[in-house]
Amino acid sequence: MNNTIGYLEGVATPLQDDPWYLDEAGAGAPHAVLGWPRWQTRVEREGGDPSRLGVLLEPDQDPEVLRAEITRLPLIALRFPSFRDGRAYSQASLLRIRYGFLGDLRAVGDVLRDQLALMRHCGFSSFAVREDKSVTDALKGLADFERVYARSVAQPEPRFRRHSSVRSDHG
């Protein structure tokens, strides 16, 4: 996917050679991100390699459908059809917390700079920024809100606990 930001060794970076692409037509070549029904057909009926295929969930799909496959998936993409549609935030949290997904969780669709910090705290690890936006500018969105006080997928301890544990450790 073009215009994508990912984390390399803990640092948000534009991904120059990202092999993943949304495969809306369903061809299913390696590193294709397929809709859930197409993924099932490709892997279960046609013998595709699940470690080389990603899954795209639409906002109205329950992440529960991926439960049995969660350890085999290298990438799950969640679609934001509009910046006003926040269902993918909930899907991301469920995939990380309830289902224990450890792979790349990618935001796709109407992904804008102002959303990236919240997306990160909900568990997203990569972001396919809208094509008409600057990926360099979008990177700044991850630094805009570095200090989050509530706990999140990215930072399970609330700030007051992080702060008191630092104080008690040093003194």
Return the higher-pLDDT residue of 156 and 12: 12
CATH of the domain at 156: 3.20.20
**Owner of token pair 């509009």:** 82
Question: 54 with 73: CB under 8 angstroms?
Answer: yes
- As a whole number of angstroms, the distance between CA 6 and CA 29 comes to 22
Backbone angles phi, psi at 166, to 5 degrees: -65, -45
The domain containing residue 44 runs over which residues? 4-169
Amino acid letter at 121?
A: H
Query: Would residue 113 be called left, alpha or beta, if left means φ above 0 and alpha means ψ between -120 and 50 degrees?
Result: alpha
Count of domains forming the chain:
1
**Three-state SS for 85?**
coil
Residue 168 has pLDDT above 90, yes or no: no
Highest mean pLDDT among 40-44, 126-130, 159-163: 126-130
**Three-state SS for 79?**
strand
DSSP letter, residue 91 = H
pLDDT tens per residue, range 64-117: 999 999 999 999 999 999 989 999 999 999 999 999 999 999 999 999 988 998
- In the chain, the N- to C-terminal Cα span, in Å, equals 48
Residue 171 has pLDDT above 50, yes or no: no
- Predicted local confidence at residue 163, as pLDDT: 56
Average pLDDT (11-39) is 87
Tokens of 114: 């102002």
Q: With cut-offs at 50, 70 and 90, classify the pLDDT of residue 29.
A: confident
